[in-house]
Amino acid sequence: MSGEAVCASRALVDGGPGVRFQVPYEGVELPAFLVRFEGRVYGYLNRCMHVLFELDSGSSVFFDDDGRSLLCSAHGALYDPRDGLCTLGPCKGMQLTPLKVEERDGKVYCLGAA
């Protein structure tokens, strides 16, 4: 077990705001985010697969209004929070870049790219 603590577990509520952070990926620091869905924490690089915009445009709001899908605020694309697969929009069938995350001792850790 290694990785860097990103936030306290209590900072992530099912279908609620996410936590933004930077993660090393292929030699550069990129924006990333964590969200909680159905009790589990998921992490992805914060970039839409259609055009490389940040999904939340800096707001930390990643879910759509019903809290069931991740939403690209620029294009309206919807992603399944469990696997990052685009289910609606110009990137349908593409997938967000997942991160390995672990929750332990009341904290959430990012272990890098999956």
pLDDT, tens digit, 9 for 90 and up, residues 44-71? 999 998 888 899 989 999 999 999 999 9
Query: Token pair for residue 109?
Result: 């850790």
Pick 4-113's CATH classification: 3.30.70.270, 2.102.10.10, 3.30.540.10, 1.10.287.310: 2.102.10.10
Supply the pTM of this predicted model: 0.95
36: left (phi over 0), alpha (psi -120 to 50) or beta: beta
Residues in contact with 102: Cβ distance below 8 Å, sequence separation at least 6, in sequence order: 1, 3, 108, 109, 111
Position 1 pLDDT exceeds 50: no
Mean model confidence pLDDT for the chain: 94
